[in-house]
Structure 1
Amino acid sequence: RLANQIPPEILNNPQLQAAIQVLPSNYNFEIPKIIWRDQQAQAKKVALQMPEGLLLFCTIVAILERFTEAEVMVMGDVTYGACCVDDFTATALGADFLVHYGLSFLVSMDTSAQDLRVLYVFVDVQIDTTHLLDSICLTFPPASALDLVSTIQVSILQAVAQELKAEYRMSVPQCKPLSPGEILGCTSPYLPKEVEAVVYLGDGPFHLESVMIANPDVPAYRYDPYSKVLSREHSDHTNRQETIATARSAKSWGLILGTLGRGSPKILEHLESRLQALGLPFVRLLLPKIFPSKLSLLPQVDVWVQVACPRLSIDWGTAFPKPLLTPYEAAVALRDISWQQPYPMDFYASSSLGPWTVNHGTRLALPSRPLCDPIKTPH
């Protein structure tokens, strides 16, 4: 749309271009877009929310303050991904514009009384495709059936798959409403049986582990674009059935709603209705971050269900003194559904198993490049 086009006086500003040159050339921080959106919003105070790995580039504050009229600040709390839009803190700090550097456009946008405007910036990352292609060709025999996945920052995924189609049976799987090939730590597609290996482009195992949990029989590989190493990966996640069995005898329940954008009030309401129907008492707790020490302050609760990040329970559930279930695991404990094998990684999938997931029953695709819209603060 014409209204969303960055004006030439911003895009071609030689002083702005010179300032951007100090940033890494293989990272696209979309500085002109931020400046244009800031001007459109007539923002007075801008908050930048960045994942920990990008905080070293927070000096872009100087660029933004030089080329806008706004005061710019960096939010120092850890950001785990696009599911952690911290609109609560941004509003409390007096910000009227939030720039969230993250992954997908996960938290719904709507009008709120605070009229906080949010812009998602994906930070496209360019990688050495020649080395990647050579690594794959040296590792897998011709005609192998391979799937390619990554996070939304790696925009060259389709191009890489196209290059490899001459030698391999390539596929870029999709778990809607995510983009083709895109995965999250809590959301990954089931891969067809004929797939011989899945290759993840990224620098950490967290997102790849999501695919591995959902597809335990498919060999998984990770290409690190920074170290330029292609390695075989293995998952050692513990079986959660014993924890669920313990939860079935619980007399009192605790429901935690994450307040960093990850929590879904719809899921919380579903859990509340199920516990009420079964006559099970429960307490509600709103937390930005969930720690064992916090939950130990309520020893009367026998089992906790956290509507925040499923991986918190899957990866670190054993660190908590009481069972800490995901909404899916709570559904199994309450006998709403039988235990699924393999474990479903469908927290944001529109084709998910049930109402204990965020987008169950919806078929809407996430916009690949969302506009700057008002955001409704989650309750």
Structure 2
Amino acid sequence: MSSSSATTSAFFSLDTAALERETEVLSEQPITFEQIWNETHKKVSNGWIRQNGYKRICLQFPDDYLPHSNAISTCLKTALASEECKVFILADTTYGSCCVDEIAAAHVEADSVIHFGNACRSKASRLPVLYLYPELPLEVPAMLKQLGTLQPECGEREVCIYFDIGYQHLYEQQEQQEPTEGEDTLYSQIREVLLPKKLHIEVYPPPAEDCAETKTAENASSGDRICVFVGADNQRFANLSLTTTALQWYILDGATATLSKKNPLTAQYIRRRYYYIEKCKDAQTLGLIVATLSAVGYLDVVTRLQTMAKSRGIKTQLISVGRINPAKLANFLEIDCFVLIGCAFNNMYNSKEYYKPIVSVFEAEMALNPAWHMKYPEAYVTDFKQLLPEGRSFLPFDKNAVQAQDVSLVSGRIRGGTDSDETVETASDNTVATQAKMALMTTSTGLSFEDRTWQGLDPALGQTEPAKLQQGLSGIPIKYSHD
């Protein structure tokens, strides 16, 4: 491509670019209509709507489910024709497909939401939600054969088997059916091939939030277990494996029936995250990105972060930009580090593509709360509710414990913070001189939000002559009709 054409392409794109652009597909394998909408899905959704008397139902789909959304909506309308229900389709979610978009549902005055596909199961605060997962095929004999190779390692140890959302139907069918005498259940078959000291079979995400918190707390307390995730190497596995301590993690890919060893908490990952924590300590301005409007407790987390940052003399700015990307966050030049306040599946961004680092609420807590100083966590915390007073990972914040000065491990400079209105320093003649708080603090950009001004166009009413009417341009910007 010549330099002139490359320069021109920076200012416009071809008119076919929007049609050729690929959507972001989050699923690990192609999804068929039968896998996301079968007789079981119909029975569960119809019964849920009729039992609760809902009249305005929103169907929320991820991008790769949208080709089947109209057929599912039509099928549901036909089944509920006698109930006088209205069904709406939610396509473009504000923050992520795993979160229930209660804001969009409120625009059509919906009284319920049926959520399809990947779900974080964050507790919704406004509307009742029904989660429908796909039913992906899995050859149980092939799975048992692969698990049999782990028998020498699993013998006399505690073993946990987690089923991803696409394979939960296998476990649920076993739970709902009463085993006949002499019949092998999924639990007994897995136990027979592994011969563990203790066996747990669970689904992830768990069906209830209370159950999720209890199991996560139990899992975090045991590090001598073998864990197997039946699914793919996706965001759900990353979230589960980071928050659950284990001697060894394995992924059993249901699509290919292959077993692979995986440990997410590598030394390189830990070093990278602690580097971002140090950058958060060095920041003079923190950007608090609100990436959820439905998860319970996000306002309490915002208040807590603002209080801790103020005690260190760090400014905070509250930001809501929808689904984040590098271009959006590049507009905030004054911010040195961002804190993403989102659901458990939406707060683990790789900051390599961004101009400034992005940390989770847990990492910001470790940076700003002195109670976490020199304390290594037992497990990573992705659910910010666990850092609040009711959570299992809560540590009280004492502003008096904040060090007046410490040394940055990144820049080697001395940094300090205090929540008092003035800082004091001792002069050479042993007198105490006062200095305004942050009077000497400077930023790399020299800008701050309060210093910004903006002035629109001056209408100059009555001071200009009216313009004459004339023929305007027609066509598209890159090729007008008169050219």
Pick the aligned partner of 1:128 from 139, 147, 154. Answer: 139
- Name the larger-Rg structure: 2
Equivalent residue, structure 1, for 2:478: none
Counterpart in 1 of 2:129? 118
Cα deviation for residue 42 of structure 1 reads 5.0
Higher relative contact order (CA 8 A, sep 6+): 1
2:74 is aligned to 62
Offset at residue 221 of structure 1 (A): 1.4
Per-residue deviation, residues 335-375 of structure 1 (Å, max 9, x unmatched): 4313654673333398x4x32997867xxxxxxxxxxxxxx
Q: Which runs of 5+ in 1 are unaligned?
A: 1-21, 111-115, 362-379
Name the residue aligned to 2:91: 76
Q: For the residues of structure 2 that align with 1:180 and 1:298, how far apart are their CA atoms? A: 36
Tell me the CA shift for residue 210 of structure 1.
3.0
| Deviation at residue 63 of structure 1 after TM alignment | 0.7
Counterpart Cα distance in 2 of 1:286 and 1:191:
36
Partner of 1:143: 155
CA offset at residue 200 of structure 1?
Answer: 0.4
1: CA distance, partners of 2:77 / 2:275: 54
Corresponding residue for residue 194 of structure 1: 224
Q: Residue 210 of structure 1 is aligned with which of 239, 254, 263?
A: 239
**Contact 1:189-1:211 at 8 Å conserved across structures:** no
* More moved, 213-222 vs 244-253: 213-222
Do the aligned partners of residues 173 and 334 (structure 1) sit closer, same or farther apart at CA in structure 2, a change above 3 Å counting?
farther
Shift, 1:150, TM fit: 3.0
In structure 2, the residue matched to 1:346 is: 381
In structure 1, what is the equivalent of residue 336 of structure 2? 302
Q: How many Å separate the matches in 1 of 2:318 and 2:198? A: 46
Deviations 1:201-226 (A, max 9, x none): 11343222234434677332111222
> Contact conserved, 2:227 with 2:248, CA < 8 A, in 1?
yes
Q: 2:292, 2:341 within 8 Å by CA — same for their partners in 1?
A: no
In 2, the alpha carbon distance for the partners of 1:342 and 1:359 equals 12
Q: 1:26 Cα shift? A: 9.7
Q: Is the contact made by 2:160 and 2:200 (CA closer than 8 Å) also made in structure 1?
A: yes
Does the Cα contact within 8 Å between 2:227 and 2:246 map onto a contact in 1? no
| Residue equivalent to 1:107 | 123
TM-score, scaled to structure 1: 0.71
Equivalent position of 1:271 in the other structure: 305
Q: Which amino acid aligns with 1:253?
A: L
Mean Cα deviation higher: 89-98 or 129-138:
89-98
Contact 2:347 2:360 in 1 (8 A): yes
2:317 match: 283
Cα gap change, 1:40 to 1:147, in 2 (>3 Å): closer
**Aligned sequence identity (%):** 17
Number of equivalences? 328
User: Does structure 2 retain, via aligned residues, the 8 Å contact 1:215–1:342?
Assistant: no
**1:113 paired residue number:** none
What's the secondary structure of 2:142's corresponding residue? Answer: helix
TM-score between the two structures when normalised by the length of structure 2:
0.57
Letter in 1 for 2:78: R
**Structure 2 CA distance, aligned partners of 1:77 and 1:217?**
37
* Bigger proportion of residues as helix: 2
Question: Match for residue 17 of structure 2?
Answer: none
| Kept in 1: contact 2:125–2:295 (CA 8 A) | no
| 8 Å Cα contact 2:222-2:246 kept in structure 1 | no
Does the aligned pair in 2 maintain the 1:253–1:303 contact within 8 Å?
yes
Q: SS at the partner of 1:177?
A: helix
Deviations 1:238-285 (A, max 9, x none): 621112112212212211111353572221121122234444321111
| Residue of structure 1 in register with 2:454 after alignment | none
Aligned partner of residue 155 in structure 2, secondary structure: coil
SS in 2 for 1:23: helix
- Where does 1:213-232 land on structure 2 (aligned, <5 Å)? 213-214=242-243, 218-232=247-261
Q: What is the CA distance between 1:307 and its match in structure 2?
A: 0.7
CA RMSD of aligned residues (A): 3.8
Q: Is 1:250 matched with 2:262? A: no
Q: How far has the Cα of 1:122 moved from its partner?
A: 4.3
Structure 1 residue 171 displacement after superposition: 2.9
1:163 to partner: Cα distance: 2.6
In structure 2, what is the Cα distance between the partners aligned to 1:226 and 1:291? 31
**Unaligned regions of 5+ residues in structure 2, if any?**
1-32, 176-184, 395-483
Q: Are 1:30 and 1:123, in contact at CA under 8 Å, matched by a contact in 2?
A: no
Q: Cα distance 1:234–1:193, how it changes in 2: closer, same or farther (>3 A)? A: closer
AA paired with 2:380? M
Equivalent position amino acid for 1:299 in 2 = L
Quick check: 1:328–1:356 contact (8 Å CA) kept in 2?
no
